[in-house]
Amino acid sequence: MPADLLGAAAGLVAAATWGAGDFGAGMATKRLPALVVLLGSQLVGLAGALVGMALLGEPLPAPADAAWAAVAALFGAVGLTALYRALADGRMGIVAPVTGVLTAAIPVAIGIAMAGAPGPVRAAGFALALLAIVLVSLVDDRTTGRGGLLLALVAGVCFGLYTACVGQVETGIFGPLLVSRATASAVVLAIVAARRTPVRALAAAEPRLVRLIVVVGILDLVGNAMFLVAAQASGLALAAVLGSLYPVSTVILAAAVLREPIGRLHAVGIATAALATVLIVGGA
């Protein structure tokens, strides 16, 4: 398979699994503290990365790759903390579109600076993908304010820098992810301890909630692995913009599982994402 097609396919799988993981995490946080769900999913990802390394026979990552993975994990942990605080304040109307666009735009800008501007067809696809992220993320929320915007900016910048740092990993998949998950688990555990979040809630949770957290951790790990494949095959810009389409799968799952109606803007966003994908792949 040509590198660009492999990268595009991996980027779309990353978006699908990230979006599904976000949906599962949202379901789990209705019954458990968000930080507990986050910690559980990170520990599952840590165990999954160990299994992946063993199955593929991957060595430990090179020092440079390990450093990039560790820095990425720090950005990811800060971004998730800001995101959860924003959502707790009922700021979804601003958080979702601003965070989504920054998550894509920052690594795309870095990728273009490093590898040069894409062709006109692919550039149009990138622009449509950013528009699609806004459309599928918009919700009706009249409670937004400056505090919500600041948290959205923090989360978006951190997520964008997370993907940019992960995209600098040159070799290996599960080795760098092992370092990333170990770092993120330590950071989240420190936050949980500082805030005295009742981790015992996880041990006392219903079995179906524990299984859901395991699935969320696996989906997140697969999404990150596919993002690394996409970045190594086709470059950071393509991987970032396709991976950042994850809200599309979240919206579709919410409609299929929870019977939430797909609004007109969401429908246009999904169609725009499909067109953007065609342009990005066709512009290879």
DSSP-based three-state secondary structure for 94 = helix
Higher pLDDT, 250 or 20: 20
pTM of the predicted model, to two decimals?
A: 0.86
- What pLDDT, in 10s, does the model give residues 32-56? 888 888 889 999 999 999 999 999 9
Higher pLDDT, 265 or 223: 223
Q: How many domains does the chain have?
A: 1
Please give the residue range of the domain that contains residue 157.
3-282
Instruction: Give me the pLDDT at residue 245, please.
Output: 87
Quick one: pLDDT at residue 144?
47
How is residue 244 annotated by DSSP?
A: T
pLDDT tens for each residue of 149-169: 688 788 889 999 999 999 899
Quote the pLDDT of residue 50: 96
Residue 57 token pair: 């026979």
Structure tokens at 141: 């929320």
- Average pLDDT estimate for 253-277: 86
Q: In the predicted model, what is the mean pLDDT of residues 64-84?
A: 89
Comparing C-alpha atoms, which of 234, 219, 222 is closest to residue 167? Answer: 234
In this prediction, residues 165-174 reach a mean pLDDT of: 92
Q: Which residue has tokens 């870095």? A: 110
Mean residue pLDDT of the chain comes to 85
Is the pLDDT confidence value at 63 over 60?
Answer: yes
Q: Fill in the DSSP letter of residue 171.
A: S
**Closest of 261, 268, 254 to residue 19, by C-alpha:** 254
CA–CA separation, 209 and 219 (whole Å) = 15
- Alpha-carbon distance of 173 to 170, in angstroms, equals 9
Write b or e for each residue in 89-122: b if 16 or more Cβ atoms lie within 10 A of its Cβ, otherwise e.
eebbbbbbbbbbbbbbbbbbebbbeeeeebeeeb
Cβ–Cβ under 8 Å, residues 107 and 160: yes
Beta strands in 71-223 (DSSP E): none
- Average pLDDT, integer, range 238-259: 86
Report the distance separating Cα 73 and Cα 177, nearest Å. 9
